[in-house]
């Protein structure tokens, strides 16, 4: 009878170890984004030591909440657009991609003369393009897979207007 007891203890130990491991992995994932625990991660990727995140308030809707582009490191945010937590349709536009790089979607965040275009395509390409007017200033590709929810469902939920400019992957 002692044998099943040892087996049950071993199973319990393994189950508990697995759950602790899952919890640690979840905490690790949360640390690798510029979004807070009270926000939804709509896009996230890294390129070296820096991150690109698009964060949404949990109450995001067509008439409330916010959507923000963030760039930098944990604890050292370099860019946040819009700076204030304003309704998403004011400075954020949405669009879709099609072409040889694959179908996908993008968000265009405007800041005076600059645009930050966060994109993700089904061809596994993702990143951000910085433009000044019609001129390409910078193109940063994600290293490894991006976490993304950019697409029609997000556009509708946030009430994002369609981008009037055209965007093509560089």
Query: Among candidates 114, 119, 110, which has minimal Cα distance to 168?
Result: 119
If you average pLDDT over residues 63-91, what whole number do you get?
90
- Note whether 130 and 154 are within 8 A (CB): no
Q: How many CA atoms lie within 13 A of 41 on its CB side?
A: 18
Binning pLDDT at 50, 70 and 90, where does residue 14 land? very low
What is the DSSP track for the chain?
Answer: -HHHHHHHHHHHHHHHHHHHHHHHHHHHHHHTSSS-TTEEEEEEEEETTEEEEEEEETT-BTTB--EEEEEEETTEEEEEESSS---TTTTEEEEEE-STT-SEEEEEEEETTEEEEEEEETTS-EEEEEEETTEEEEEEEPEEEEEE--SHHHHHHHTPPBPSS-----
**Predicted local confidence at residue 76, as pLDDT:** 92
**Predicted local confidence at residue 170, as pLDDT:** 81
**Predicted local confidence at residue 56, as pLDDT:** 96
Whether the bond between 41 and the residue before it is cis, its omega within 30 degrees of 0, is no
**Predicted local confidence at residue 86, as pLDDT:** 84
**Predicted local confidence at residue 93, as pLDDT:** 95
CA 111 – CA 66 distance, rounded (Å): 16
Angle at Cα 136 formed by Cα 134 and Cα 142, nearest 5°?
A: 135
**Predicted local confidence at residue 133, as pLDDT:** 86
Give exposure, 150-167, as e/b (b: 16+ Cβ within 10 Å): bbeebbebbbbeebeeeb
**Predicted local confidence at residue 102, as pLDDT:** 60
Average pLDDT, the chain: 81
pTM of the model: 0.78
Binning pLDDT at 50, 70 and 90, where does residue 101 land? low
């Amino acid at each position: 009878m002692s044998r099943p007891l040892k087996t049950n203890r071993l199973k319990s130990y393994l189950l508990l170890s697995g759950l602790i491991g899952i919890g640690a992995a979840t905490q690790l994932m949360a640390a690798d984004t510029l979004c807070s625990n009270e926000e939804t991660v709509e896009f996230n990727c890294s390129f070296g030591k820096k991150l690109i995140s698009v964060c949404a308030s949990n109450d995001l809707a067509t008439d409330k909440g916010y959507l923000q582009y963030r760039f930098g490191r944990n604890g050292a945010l370099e860019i946040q657009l819009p700076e204030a937590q304003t309704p998403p349709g004011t400075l954020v536009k949405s669009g879709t991609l099609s072409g040889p790089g694959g179908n996908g979607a993008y968000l265009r965040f405007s800041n005076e003369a600059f645009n930050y275009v966060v994109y993700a395509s089904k061809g596994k390409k993702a990143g951000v393009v910085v433009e000044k007017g019609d001129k390409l200033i910078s193109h940063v590709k994600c290293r490894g897979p991006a976490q993304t929810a950019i697409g029609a469902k997000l556009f509708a939920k946030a009430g994002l207007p369609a981008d009037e400019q055209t965007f093509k992957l560089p």
